[in-house]
Structure 1
Amino acid sequence: MDFNIMESSTESKEELTRNRLVRALVERKDPSSKEVDDPTIRRFLRARDFDISQASAMFLKYLKWRRTFVPNGFISASEVPNQIAQNKMFLQGSDKKGRPIAVVLGNRHFQDGLKEFKRFVVYGLDKTCARIPPGQEKFIAIGDLEGWGYSNSDIRGYLGALSILQDYYPERLGKMFIVHAPLVFMTVWKIVYPFIDNKTKKKIVFVENKMLKSTLLEEIDESQLPEIYGGQLPLVPI
């Protein structure tokens, strides 16, 4: 008898039961949640270690936020023109697990209005998540800080982006590689780090320059790796 299969089956049944309980609790308070699929609810459960009460509260907060922050159901390019003009986010290829790869060039980010930047974060995350294939729920990101300086520093923006990712897109980030991080960035990192939840912290990897290509190739085939890291794909602006 395969006990691993039995254990997996039991976990699946438990997960399904908790999923239904969260849906029932949330639908009583917000009927619009009926339109949300089960995998989405499951991600909120996982983000709260399957605590039904906490997951329900988190999900209700998400529904309210989505209605007010994204009233049209999506952020259009016309709502984030200044952010798009900075040409700092790219989306191309997928890793060995089929997760889409987003690349952000930190030296192209400049403070240009916090509200528009937050809209751009949602714009980018929605486009990235739309590229996630069936059977997969996550994406990976490469945060490239080559050439980053204090003129690019935006602590309020970083914290705003972090809050959106953790609170409203739980369990979407699979891994984030931070590459070419200059020493001056660590001053900002020390301020931001306490606001990163433990689940997200485990997904962030600082990569040494000398190990850059070999580290990325552990997760990404060369045919899917951006050219700037020794791969074959050109960067495609989001």
Structure 2
Amino acid sequence: MSSENAQENIVWVVDFSGWTVSSTPLTESRQSVHIIQNYYPGLVGAAILCNPPKIFESFWKILNYFIEPELKEKVKFVYTNNSESQRIMADMFDLDKLESSFGGRNTSGIDIVKYSERMQRRDQTRNLHIR
């Protein structure tokens, strides 16, 4: 879709591999939600939580009190070994391009140096528009 008035949405993918209760304090999680809801309202098209540990269900119940209903509906819990989760990912992504750790078929991984350079160029471009 190409329209001057079209708004792009982002898909926020969180990989919980290696996650522990102490790795993400509740205050940081609340701050992340605050930033998304208040600075990027309507920008998040979906939030994909990949392979969260079972204890995260209790954590999620606490975090739910701080999340607006509109954002809450966009949150999807997916597990790479679950057929329903695989369907959700296939509906949202090209599985040939999606990393295998998220249930896709791409095994090439990320070149962190190239990614960092790309983000730095993007930040510089953004700063030119802000001034």
Provide TM-score, normalisation by structure 1: 0.40
Task: In structure 1, give the amino acid aligned to 2:86.
Answer: K
Identify if the C-alpha distance between structure 1 residues 170 and 236 changes in structure 2 by more than 3 Å, giving closer, same or farther. Answer: farther
Task: Tell me which residue corresponds to 1:235.
Answer: 110
Residue 210 (structure 1) aligns with? 82
1:152 shift after superposition: 1.0
Residue by residue, what CA displacement relative to the aligned partner does 1:4-38 show, whole Å, maximum 9, x if unpaired? Answer: xxxxxxxxxxxxxxxxxxxxxxxxxxxxxxxxxxx
User: Could you tell me how far 1:142 is from its partner in structure 2?
Assistant: 1.6
Structure 2: gaps of 5 or more residues: 117-131
Question: Is the CA contact (8 Å cut-off) linking 1:227 and 1:235 kept in structure 2?
Answer: no
Structure 2 Cα separation of the partners of residues 189 and 236 of structure 1: 32
Q: Does 1:147 align with 2:18?
A: yes
Q: What RMSD, in angstroms, separates the aligned Cα atoms of the two structures?
A: 2.2
- Whether the aligned pair in 2 keeps the contact of 1:148 and 1:185 (CA below 8 Å) is no
Kindly state the Cα deviation for residue 136 of structure 1 after the two structures are TM-superposed.
4.0
Cα distance in 2 for partners of 1:236, 1:141 equals 19
Alignment deviations for residues 79-101 of structure 1 (CA, whole Å, 9 cap, x no partner): xxxxxxxxxxxxxxxxxx8xxxx
Q: Distance in 2 between matches of 1:236 and 1:215?
A: 26
Report if the CA contact (8 A) 1:176-1:203 is conserved: yes
Structure with the higher fraction of residues in helix conformation: 1
Partner amino acid, structure 2, of 1:224: K
**Aligned residue in 1 for 2:127:** none
What displacement does 1:177 show?
1.3
Report the equivalent of 1:185.
56
Q: Is the 8 A contact 2:13 2:50 kept in 1?
A: yes
Aligned to 1:226: 99
**In the alignment, does 2:9 pair up with 1:138?**
yes
After superposition, residues 79-90 of structure 1 pair within 5 angstroms as none
| 1:154 to 1:227, Cα distance in 2 relative to 1, 3 A | same
CA–CA separation in structure 1 for the residues paired with 2:100 and 2:110: 7
1:166 maps to 2:37? yes
Question: 2:110 and 2:74 mapped to 1: Cα distance?
Answer: 23
The alignment covers a number of residue pairs equal to 106
Render the CA deviation track for 1:172-214: whole Å, top value 9, x for unaligned. Answer: 1000111211111122212111100011011001124313433
Confirm or deny: 8 A CA contact 2:97 2:104 kept in the other structure. Answer: no
Residue of structure 2 equivalent to 1:44: none
Counterparts in 2 of 1:199 and 1:225: CA distance versus 1, 3 Å: same
Q: CA deviation at 1:161?
A: 0.9
- Give the 5 Å matches for 1:1-238: 135-208=6-79, 209-211=81-83, 212-228=85-101, 229-232=103-106, 234-235=109-110, 237=112
TM-score normalised per structure 2:
0.69
